[in-house]
Structure 1
Amino acid sequence: MPSFLTEAMPLTPSWWEIAVRILLTVIAGGLIGLDRERGGHAAGFRTTILVALAACLAMIQANLLLSTYGKTFSYFTQMDVLRFPLGILTGVGFIGGGAILRRGDMMTGVTTAATMWFMTVVGLCFGGGQILTGMAATLVAFIVLSPMKQLDMWLRSEQKATLVIHSSEADLPDLSQVLGPLGCVARFVSFGQTSEGRPGVTFELRWMAKDQDASARAIFSALSEAYHVAGFSMQSTST
């Protein structure tokens, strides 16, 4: 096994070692970014590469400065050059915060922000010369984002929806007979007016399902046959 794969961060890395670090960072960022690009996420192929590459270059620069800064007998302070790449993590935190959006009960971009932060750490690994660590981390990230996503889709998860039906305050409908066989539970929220200006009542629906769309269609169809549904909207979390 080549020594540069297992060697700790050298004080004077050669140019070919630096080139290998940059190349592996681009490959790792492209591999993860391609998976995100196929999913139609905001931070896709190029963004993921740039985030990882920025962290890698910051760590390389800190590596090159290690041999020029230090504490001598004539100085009371020393410059900690490793704070420079660590500051990249803070900067990516702001970018990740911008990728997360919340609209009512829907939150998007959480996994995208986490991926960007993770790829920053991968870039720091490659930039610091921890090649095997960076390669292992990239492989784990790819498995989590791609194959394990199928497992996430297979697992049953709690689904939520907001239901509005036409009804007066004197006649609060009992939805248990309709929703019970479907494994759905309704919780009363409030009385008010529907978009048509008629009196209505709002419920929050909760149920467990693998397929969000199919289960929602079945619940909506059952409710439409028994009641005059004025509104039905899913409360979902997208990554």
Structure 2
Amino acid sequence: MSFLEFLIKRADDMLEMGIGHAAVVGISVLLATVLGVALGVLTHRNERARDFTLAVSGAMLTIPSFALFILLLGPLGLGAKPVIVALTMYGLMPIIRNTVAGLNGVDPAVTESARGMGLTRMQRLLRVELPLAWPVIITGVRVTTLSLLGIAAIGSIVNGPGFGNFIFTGLARVGTPVAINFVLAGALGVVILAILSDVLFHIVRRLTTSKGIR
């Protein structure tokens, strides 16, 4: 059976796995973005707190994904939950780092002008600092998303959804005629999701960034 014939025959499975893969990554990116931006906002002015937060989130990236998924089996069981928690942990570092970089890159003269206009600290943050830092922040979210799309495939070892099921099925059938088709189909699915995500982020960035700072 050719690879194209395999894809046609498994089209329904590819669609189902693609939706599951995109769902766990999407939820994880959303959680990582909320937590990462919040931590970046809270720590970007405090050097010790900032360095500690970046060090901890960076250390999470050093944990082998196989090990982390297995460690989360005990408290969370099989399925999407351990995958989402693990991906959220892996996604924090780029978002925190870019949030800190974006906020620290805002011209102090701009914030001083906003203060002079009577804006409160929260108003300056929401109306001035975060909008100016947004292009840098969304770049961190984009990097996180592309990274997590690949890591999510490993989540199938704990019965997580996604294209990893095809990849590991192929690896389990090494030596058979269909093994390479399974692996290629899983890898192709991840690549397609990565391309679609990149296009989506390009569109979102243009729509959410003011023309003056693009």
Query: What range describes the TM-score normalised by the shorter chain of this pair?
Result: 0.3 to 0.5
**TM-score after normalising by structure 1:** 0.31
**TM value normalised by structure 2:** 0.33
Higher relative contact order (CA 8 A, sep 6+): 2
Question: Larger helix proportion, structure 1 or 2?
Answer: 2
Higher strand fraction (1 or 2): 1
